[in-house]
Structures are given as C-alpha cells and as structure tokens.
Structure 1
C-alpha cells in the first residue's frame, strides 16, 4: 500500500514540505523512486528535478543524486516552492566588475541570492561558484564570501568577495557602513519630498514580514529623494545607511507608499496603472574603496526592461536613465 508523506507549509514562504520515513521495503532503492511512490502527485520526473535543484534532504543533509540508495529509518524531506525549475546561468554581460578579489554582478530579478531549502542549483551563490571553477586550472580555489544579499525579485548590483584575503576587509567595510548603496524604486503614491526613515526593524515569523517595532529590533536607516511623480506613482532614489532584510520594502509600506508590485507589503493594482509581476526595486549604484588597494570603485547599472517599461508608460515618454543615475548619486 502506498504511504503518503507527511505534509506541512513553511511559515511565511508558502513552500510545501513533505516528510517521508523510509520503510524496510525500500532498502537500497533509488531516492527518486521512493519519493514518487511515497508522495501523492509527485511523479518520478518531478522528483528528479527537485533533487537536481537541491530541494531534497536526507537526515538533514542536502542530497542531489537521484540514484542515492536509501536505508530504512532515514528521514527524507522534499521542499517544493511552486516555481519553475529553470536554472539561471551567469553570462559575461552580467559581470559588471571582476578582479582577483571582488566580483560585481548585475543580478536579474527572479534569481535567489543564496541557497534556500528548495533550491541550490541556479542560485547566485551556485552560479558564482561555477563561474570561478575555471580558475582552478590556475591553481586558485573558488572561495565565495557573501557580504551582501538582494531579495529574489530585486534586480541590480550585488558584490561578492572571491578571495579569502579580501573577505574580512570587505565584511568590515559593510559593518562600518563604508559602502554606499543606492537603489531605484517605483512606489505607489506621490512622494513629493525627500526624507529619512529611521526605525527598529524585526521579522514577524508568522508571515515572514519585516516591520518596525518599539524595541527588540535592529536599527534601519533609509534616505530617500523623489526623482519623478507620474500617474499616481513615484520614482524614488534611495540610499541605504544600513542593510536590513526587506528594509526598503517595509519602510515605504509603513509610510503608505508600497513598492509597485509588492503585494506582500500592501501594494494593490490600480486600474490603468499597468501590472508589475514583481516589486519594482533595483540596486543601481555601489561605491566603495577597494579593500585591498584602497582605490575608489564605483559601479552603476540601468534598471532592467520591466522596470524601465513601467516607468516610461507612467511618464508617457522615453526616460534618460543615464541622467536618472546621475540624479540618484547626487540625492
């Protein structure tokens, strides 16, 4: 008789988690077979995809081999996030800057920065490791230091340390707020004046949302300046003094200006405004002194097509994004 795996949903993420205890009759069987026969509506093909992407764990360890031979009593957990199994691969045009110590990438929206329970393959961490594999022939061991993170649906610049010698220095620069981080966001509502949000932020576990609290949170400082206002929404330039999870999204939502497309933080589509398939937030500029050479480093990238299209539709005309980026760093 088929035994269906126990199911639960991870709080605040919507990810389904299936738990299977391997029965005696499956001793030595392939993991993909056991999953497809133990969990309703999970075909062997789907099981193979989930395993390949890193969404299956045995006794707490991620296993990415479909032919892995299971043993009775082992606990298998399968994580399904409901998204397509299409892996992002790093192209040369995504690389904004590279030397022996630092790597700056223009991250596309829809790509996870770091591995999740559902995925390892196709995350930015994974593709950077793959990219650095080519240096092995030069005797350089790939070593990725993650000092910055972007939400899955945020596009734009993200900085990695790729050498052990630069990890500590770059991490300290972020802690000391010596890295200037500028963003562009399209928000719902008319932002007519600039200002600063300064609050304590904490994560609410039941829905995985970040919000301001009176005590117990971490201080978050967000400086902002309007760049344009059209059709009931605003293009805003943002400078982060801190880098808390969901900081920009939470601050603007609480001020009554949720990011366009950010349903989790209160955005509601307005008739005639057009629809956004993600929150419209873009990491547009990074400025710092190189942790090894002390030479100034400044990277900028224009927003991607979906962001640009939405704002140009709101304006009713073409937008000079080069000029927008200049305004951003002056704000």
Structure 2
C-alpha cells in the first residue's frame, strides 16, 4: 500500500556547487540515495516551484526543494518475537530502550534479529512504513532511547523535526583521559576513505556538532554528558576520538584499555572485558508529531556501564585517600 509524503526544505549554503541528487541526499538522509534519484527522474522533486528531472542540476544555496512522492512498502522483512523494552507507546509513536548487542535495521551480516524485525512482530502495521517506522538509529552496542513512528504522518513529522534539530538527544559516556571542562566538537563526518565500515573527520563530510560536559572526573577517565546537535553515523565516537578522548571499550575508535596507575586487578579486569563503547542514550525529548505536546523520557545507565563507573569512582576515592 502506497503512502503519500510531502516535504519542503531550503538548500543550505554549504551545498553550493553540488548536484541536485547529492543535495537532497544530504537534506533528506532518511531516504536512500537510489530512492531519491528515482523520485527526481519520476518528476517528484521541484526546485523553486519548477519540477525537474535533472539529477545533476547544480545547486547554489537558498533554493526551495519540494519532495512530493508516494512510498511503497519496502523489502519484506520477517516479524520476529524479540523482546522490546517499550518505555512509551500510543497510536502514533513508541519509544524503546534498546539493549547492547541489538542491531536496529537488517543489513550486511545482520539479515534479521533486529529492532525492525521485533517491531513487525509487535505491530504488523509497521510493515506499511519505510524502515518499519524507524526514524533514527543507535549503533549495535550503544544502548538507550529511540523513537519509532507508527503512522506515515508521525514519521514524516519526526523526520522533519530531526532535520530542524527539534529533537533533543542526550547521552552518557565514559571517555579515556582526564577532561577538565566541557566543550563543543564541530567537525564534519563522512565515510573513512579506506576503511569501509569506519567513519572519519573529513572536509567532504556532513556538518556534525556534538556538545559535551564533564559529569565526573576519575584518575584517568571522565564521565560525560553529551548532546547531539546533528546525528551522523558514529558521531559521538568519532568526535571524542578526534579530541583524543575515545570512549572506553570502543572496538573501532578506542584502542587498548587504559587503566590508571596502580589500579586494582578488579578494575583492570573490568576495563579489559568491557568490549563495547561506553555510550548510552539517556534522555530523549520531542514535541509529539501529532498532538504537539512536549514529551521527555529518561533511561538509566545499564548495569555494565554503571559497574565501570562505580569501579572508576571507587578507584579515585581510594587513591585520593592514599595520596592524602
């Protein structure tokens, strides 16, 4: 069953000189490049009120892009009885607290056993929505809050809210190194030039902004509270590694465990065995896509990450006493 979608955006100045297909891929990141190009060729895209089928048309910034298309149900995925920790649900949206190890969407190496498969089992009508209503993603081993749409209207409005930075997402993380103050990382992120599964800071990447503040300082680590202004793949992980404070346990950007000097064997063991990035989406705040009501949810840090934080706190306290 086809569903109508109507979106309007102004081309940012940063797209000066880019082709139309490249530009709308940046402006509407929740749709695949191939689907967007098909819509251009089918006459579903207009620039300043004029329909165009020229995917290579150059943009200058300031143009008004209208996308008016129908979305067909995507590739069929099997419903699977996978438990979802549902924090909130109504007729239009649901919010889940995703555990570590659960992939959000099927892909290479993960054909099923994902949040998407679980959503289809929980509510079969999700099959009529692009990506089964998934609006944004968390990495496989990042835990925490995600919002999912249950109707095409809710999904369209949530995607629009994300693009206009009207959804607030806060994370907790444990980073390597001692950070004395908070700050902002404003560096573009794109695909790594040689490592296909990695992301990297690259001038050809998309604008990416992460705000962070210090929540607690340990001897050789820092607990952080972070807020996303944009939502790029691996954004927090890449940004923290870029400023030489990679997340504890990050298998891609983190390097080896770094225990503090004279750390207990228990703490060393915990750091050695923590094999995922210490990152948790702890707060989600948005205006309900249908009612307009401001809604906020919180999810406590999971046990494995809290255990690391407690051990680092104890280590800092014990060594403070010994040094005193």
TM class, shorter-chain normalised? 0.5 to 0.7
> Among residues 185, 199, 215, which one is paired with 1:210 in the alignment?
199
Contact kept in structure 2, 1:132 and 1:142, CA below 8 Å:
no
Change (3 A) 1:310 1:63: closer
The residue that corresponds to 1:67 in the other structure is: none
Q: Is residue 306 from structure 1 mapped to residue 294 from structure 2 by the alignment? A: no
Correspondence for 1:290: 288
Contact 1:120 1:126 in 2 (8 A): no
| Equivalent residue, structure 2, for 1:177 | 165
3-state secondary structure, aligned to 2:179: coil
1:247 equivalent in structure 2: 235
User: Which of 106, 114, 134 in structure 2 is aligned with 1:123?
Assistant: 114
State the match for 1:102 in structure 2: 93
**CA RMSD between the two structures:** 2.2
**Cα offset for 1:142?**
5.7
Give the Cα separation in 2 of the matches to 1:165 and 1:63. 22
**1:269-312 CA distances to partner (integer Å, 9 max, x unpaired)?**
12444321211000000001101000111010001110000001
What aligned pairs does 1:73-222 form with structure 2 within 5 A after superposition? 89-91=82-84, 94-133=85-124, 143=129, 144-207=132-195, 208-213=197-202, 215-222=203-210
Question: Which of 259, 264, 276 in structure 1 is aligned with 2:247?
Answer: 259
SS across alignment from 2:160 = helix
Report if aligned partners of 1:220, 1:241 keep a CA contact under 8 Å in 2: yes
Q: Which moved more, 1:204-213 or 1:218-227?
A: 204-213
Contact 1:88 1:123 in 2 (8 A): no
Runs of 4+ off more than 4 Å: 61-64
Distance 1:88 1:236, change over 3 A: farther
Where does residue 42 of structure 2 map in the other structure? none
Q: List runs of 5+ in structure 2 lacking aligned partners.
A: 1-74, 316-324
- TM-score, normalised relative to structure 2: 0.66
Residue 15 of structure 1: aligned partner: none
- Structure 1 regions of 5+ residues with no counterpart? 1-60, 65-86, 318-331
Instruction: Tell me the distance in 1 between the aligned counterparts of 2:241 and 2:103.
Output: 22
Once the two structures are superposed, what CA deviation does each residue of 1:66-100 show, in whole Å capped at 9, x if it has no partner? xxxxxxxxxxxxxxxxxxxxx88224xx1001011
Q: For residue 278 of structure 1, what is the aligned residue in structure 2?
A: 276
Structure 1 residues 195 and 88: CA distance shift in structure 2, 3 A: farther
1:212 Cα deviation (Å)? 1.2
Query: How many residues get paired?
Result: 227
SS of equivalent to 1:244: coil
2:251–2:275: 8 Å Cα contact kept in structure 1?
Answer: no
Using the TM superposition, give the Cα deviation of residue 266 of structure 1 relative to its aligned residue in structure 2, in angstroms.
3.2
* TM-score calculated relative to the size of structure 1: 0.65
- Return 112-121 or 252-261, whichever deviates more: 112-121
